[in-house]
Amino acid sequence: MRIPLIAGNWKMYKTPDEAKFFCERFKELYKDTDVQALICAPAVDIFAVSEAFKGTDIKVGAQNVYFEKEGAFTGEVSVDMLKASGCEFCIVGHSERRQYFGETDETVNKKAKALLEGGLRPIICVGEAEEIRVAGTQNDHVKNQLKGAFAGISSEDAKKCVIAYEPIWAIGTGRVATPEQAGDMCSFIRETLIGMYDEDTADEMIIQYGGSVKPENISDIMDMPEIDGALVGGASLDPDKFMNIIDF
C-alpha cells in the first residue's frame, strides 16, 4: 500500500521568521488525513521548520544537496547537515535546478545515491519542456531521465525514492496538465520502473505530479490511479491553501 505524499516546495521564498509563522498556522489547521504531509524548505529555514513540527507527523525536506560528504565546497550543504537539521527527504533534479544551475542526469544520480547512503529519501524530478511535448517525444525524454537518475541504484534503495513528474510547461504557469496527461505519464513511469527493476519494486514507489497544483484541481489529479501525491510550489506558501490541498 502506497501512502500518498503531498509535498510543498517553497523554492526561494520565506525567511526563517516567515517559515515559523507558516508552521504555527499550519499546525493549527492540520488534521490527520490519509496523506503524508511534507514541507521542502530553503536550507536556512529547515532547522526552524523541523523545530516547529516536532511532535507532529509533518515531515521536513530540503530542495537541494551536494553529493560529497564534506570538504572545501563553498556554498554547498551536505546530506549529514540536512539530516542533522531534521530532513527526511530532499528534492533532486528540479527543472529549475536543471535550467539555472547546470543540474544533469549525472549529478541527479550522484545526489540520489548520496542521499540514500545517508538515510534520506530523494524526490527525483523528471518532466519535459513544451517543445518536447509538441514533438510527442515526452515518453522517451522521461525514460532517459529515469535511466540516468537511477543508474546503479539497487531495487531496495529505489523503493525509498519518490518520483515527481513535473511537465515544465505546467510549472508556475497556471497551465496544469489535464488529469489524463498527468495520469498517462505516471502510468508510463510505473511501467518504465517495472522494466528497470521489477513489479514489486515499482509497486512500492511513490509517483507524484507537480505543476500548478491547487486546492481546486488536486482531487481530479489524485483520482488518477498511478498518481500517489503532488509536489506543490506556489500553493504551498499559504498554510490555508496547502492544508486544503492535503485535505482534498
Nearer to ligand PGA among residue 94 and residue 157 (C-beta): 94
Reference 208, options 38, 25, 29; nearest CA is 38
Contact indicator for 73, 66 with CB cutoff of 8 Å: yes
Tell me whether residue 123 or residue 146 sits nearer to ligand PGA (CB atom). 123
Pick 192 or 212: Cβ nearer ligand PGA: 212
**Minimum distance between the CB of residue 10 and ligand PGA, rounded to whole angstroms?**
10
Residue ranges that bind ligand PGA, judged by CB under 6 A: 9, 166, 171-172, 210-213, 231-235
Q: Report which secondary-structure segment, H or E, holds 223.
A: none
Catalytic residue (choose from 94, 103, 128, 226): 94
Instruction: Check if the beta carbon of residue 120 is closer than 8 Å to that of residue 78.
Output: no
Radius of gyration (C-alpha) of the chain in whole angstroms: 17
> What minimum distance in Å lies between the beta carbon of 174 and ligand PGA?
8
- Give the CB-nearest residue to ligand PGA: 233
Catalytic residue among 103, 128, 166, 226: 166
Select 183 or 211, whichever has its Cβ closest to ligand PGA: 211
H or E element, residue 70: none
SS3 121: strand
CB of 225 to ligand PGA, least distance (A): 22
Residue 141 annotated to the active site: no
Q: What does the alpha-carbon distance between residue 43 and residue 12 come to, in Å, rounded to a whole number?
A: 10
Q: How far is the C-alpha of 138 from the C-alpha of 160, rounded, in Å?
A: 25
Active site residue 166: yes
We find the least distance from the C-beta atom of residue 68 to ligand PGA, in angstroms, to be 26
Catalytic residue numbers? Answer: 94, 166
